[in-house]
Chains A and B, each alone.
Chain A
Amino acid sequence: GENVEQHPSTLSVQEGDSAVIKCTYSDSASNYFPWYKQELGKGPQLIIDIRSNVGEKKDQRIAVTLNKTAKHFSLHITETQPEDSAVYFCAARAGGSYIPTFGRGTSLIVHP
């Protein structure tokens, strides 16, 4: 089955800096890669996703890049703000499977 590794487990940055979270996956058939943000006491919320037919996708201050050859994808947050502080999860889902495999999460702390 699919295995998703996520790094780092904790990331601390100063407000205004950029943050990068990286994930690797094992199943070359995976073709859908969502990212979720989980704030304290809430469920994860989908913030951006990418499919295997594109290499990069941007939405304001967040972007996701995908390298299918190396089987890794990354979340980039620019100009971080304290409200970006949360746990971020990556996931990968293979074609034919309806159940994504999640990474273990990254706790992002943005210091004002």
Chain B
Amino acid sequence: GAGVSQSPSNKVTEKGKDVELRCDPISGHTALYWYRQSLGQGLEFLIYFQGNSAPDKSGLPSDRFSAERTGGSVSTLTIQRTQQEDSAVYLCASSLMSGQRYGYTFGSGTRLTVV
């Protein structure tokens, strides 16, 4: 597509439930990133995928968070047993290459509210 697509745009869930957030990157972009943006905060790195390489999961805050990327394209971020502190905007970004020459294209994000 023309841009990075994320769904849903908004998600309200009850504490303790599992949620899945989807990211559809720009066609042909090999690198995909997930970030979390809490109210008034900067961008917190969560996880990075590059091609068929093992993902860099160093930013995941707990084992309740996981992500996968199927076929080198669509990615799903899963949060299990959601907590109120998980409430945030989850942003996905993709780039043509992961090297220095290419900036990110971000999606519009999924606003997650845990009640």
Contact = CB atoms under 8 A, between A and B. Distances in A.
Interface of A: 6, 31-32, 34, 36, 41-46, 49, 51, 89, 93, 95, 98-99, 102-105
Given A98-B31, A102-B42, 9 more contacts: A32-B100, A42-B108, A43-B4, A49-B103, A89-B42, A89-B43, A104-B41, A104-B42, A105-B42
Interface residues of B, number: 23
22 contacts: A6-B42, A31-B100, A32-B100, A34-B104, A36-B106, A41-B108, A42-B108, A42-B109, A43-B93, A43-B106, A43-B107, A44-B43, A44-B91, A45-B106, A46-B104, A49-B103, A89-B42, A98-B99, A99-B45, A99-B48, A99-B59, A102-B42
Contacts of A46: 103-105
A43 B91 contact: yes
